[in-house]
């Protein structure tokens, strides 16, 4: 680059503590700049009558990079682009859909003046819907004792001395009480379930009982 030449970089972030800062050729070309290669010696970026030469070689492990030696004369904190006044809704999007306080703080740190108030964000609402787990059961706060019974049978690792190798578990959703019955055959689920019905009627009275279980064959027979 010619000594003493002054250029202006728009939409640029400068980190003074770094020895080198990156320059995006893609962004420059998208803005209308012309990039000319002079082989391994230099790259020339031309735009709006200004010219920036990357003719300083910096070696790295895989080869080298071309750099331009620039002395910052000053910065103008316009945030993203040249707009100094940004509406709160736009600030929310620019900050990555952060909360209102964080979005405002981020934009003000870039020298922008945030105006207006944030409206409900449709994108955030959709994300919350996708993340919110949907319960498989309705609220059970008012469920009475014996009103809903969960029942499931499974095999056990070791057969008992009496030859029992299956377990039928019953859970009362109203009280969280559970009962286990060990059986020789899964077909005994039908008898065990009827015994559970009689137990509830003796304890609570004649109420409607709902059993919650899978569609296993023994459950269908019950």
| Structure-token match 């009627």, residue found | 201
Residues 6+ apart with CB under 8 A from 190: 218, 221, 222
Task: Give me the chain's average pLDDT, please.
Answer: 79
**pLDDT given for residue 48 in this prediction:** 77
Q: What is the pLDDT of residues 147-170, one digit of tens each?
A: 899 999 888 877 887 888 888 899
**pLDDT given for residue 17 in this prediction:** 66
80 pLDDT higher than 50: no
**pLDDT given for residue 188 in this prediction:** 92
Tokens at residue 5, please?
């030449």
Q: How many CA atoms lie within 13 Å of 16's alpha carbon, on the beta-carbon side? A: 5
- The runs of H, that is alpha helices, within the chain are 25-30, 88-94, 100-109, 122-131, 189-203, 217-221
81 pLDDT higher than 50: no
Tokens at residue 196, please?
């559970």
CATH 3.30.420.10 domain residues, the chain? 148-221
Mean pLDDT, residues 105-121: 82
Tokens at residue 119, please?
């409206």
11 pLDDT higher than 80: no
4 pLDDT higher than 60: no
Q: What is the pLDDT of residues 14-60, one digit of tens each?
A: 666 667 777 778 878 877 888 888 877 888 888 877 788 888 888 77
In CATH terms, the fold of domain 148-221 is Nucleotidyltransferase; domain 5 (3.30.420)
Closest to 112 measured CA to CA, from 88, 145, 144? 88
Would you call 49 helix, strand, or coil by DSSP?
A: coil
């Amino acid at each position: 680059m010619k000594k003493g030449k002054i250029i202006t970089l728009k939409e640029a972030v400068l980190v003074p503590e770094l020895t080198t800062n990156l320059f995006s050729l893609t962004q420059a070309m998208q803005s209308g700049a012309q990039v000319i290669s002079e082989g391994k010696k230099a790259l020339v970026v031309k735009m709006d009558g200004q010219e920036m030469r990357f003719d300083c070689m910096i070696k790295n492990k895989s080869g080298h990079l071309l750099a331009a030696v620039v002395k910052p004369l000053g910065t103008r904190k316009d945030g993203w682009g040249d707009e100094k006044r940004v509406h709160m809704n736009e600030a929310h999007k620019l900050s990555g859909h952060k909360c209102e306080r964080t979005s405002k703080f981020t934009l003000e740190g870039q020298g922008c003046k945030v105006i207006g108030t944030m409206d409900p964000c449709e994108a955030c609402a959709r994300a919350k819907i996708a993340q919110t787990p949907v319960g498989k059961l309705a609220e059970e706060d008012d469920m009475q004792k014996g009103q809903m019974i969960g029942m499931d049978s499974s095999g056990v690792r070791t057969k008992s001395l009496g030859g029992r190798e299956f377990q039928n578990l019953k859970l009362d959703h109203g009280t969280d009480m559970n009962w286990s019955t060990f059986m020789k055959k899964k077909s005994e689920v039908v008898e065990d379930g009827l015994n559970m019905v009689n137990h509830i009627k003796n304890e609570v009275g004649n109420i409607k009982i709902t059993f919650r279980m899978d569609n296993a064959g023994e459950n269908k027979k019950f």
